[in-house]
Homo-oligomer: A and B are copies of this chain.
Amino acid sequence: MLTNLNSKMPRLLGELDDLSHAKVSSGEFKYGKGTEIFGEAEPADYVYQVIEGAVRSHKLLPDGRRQIGAFHLPGDIFGLENGDFHRFTAEAVVDTTVRLVKRQSLERVAKTDPAILRSLRTLTSASLEHVENHVLLLGRNTARERVAAFLLEMKGRLTAAGVIVLPMNRRDIADYLGLTFETVSREFSAFHRKGYLRFLDPTQRQIVVLNAAGLTGIAQQTSAKPE
């Protein structure tokens, strides 16, 4: 399954919360819809956590083709690099509030606090796992399978009261799945026709999954996700 960072254990949220009152310089910041948070190849001086909204991380080819590597949703930490530079550009998908902490101070604290250190490693590991699964998805899954996997990922990550409310548009989804937005739209429609989905609003961004088993059967992924 596309990794569900959200349900992973130590999401560092607690720790980052602690840090925000403690010995790490930390702050909140708002980014308007579509604005850049950091750019590819810029120095990675900060680590970010989504408070509210959504963020996309992408790379571009010289001719403008775009590949989104991940969506970051409330609670998610992003921009944590192993090296010294960002390797994706991060942008706000909608108006978004983030907490940010200086990477240096985080690393300073991590030196003395093994719990923080472990959290950081777990985070890196989770994002590595996500991108590795994404390689499999992009390399070997059909359009239908990709869209099913996407819906299941989002079901796990941002369902509230049984409803998935997507912050991103069809083009963002397409660029995440290596498809065109028309194909994404068609697959959404196909699942709707099959009775797997219900749409609650006219822009079709609010989705109820009626047949998760059906989607799971189509998604064809290697690592099954419990619940």
Contacts and interface: CB of A to CB of B under 8 A. Distances in A.
Copies per complex? 2
Interface string A124-164: 11011101111110111100000000000000000000000
A129 B59 CA distance: 12
A177 B139 CA distance: 7
Contacts of A131: 128, 131-132, 135
Most chain B CB within 10 A, of A59, A63, A135, is at A135
A61 interface: yes
A59 B125 contact: no
Contacts of A124: 82, 124, 128
A65 interface: yes
20 contacts: A40-B222, A59-B136, A60-B222, A61-B141, A61-B221, A61-B222, A62-B220, A62-B222, A63-B220, A67-B136, A67-B140, A81-B125, A82-B121, A82-B128, A87-B132, A88-B132, A131-B131, A131-B135, A139-B177, A139-B178
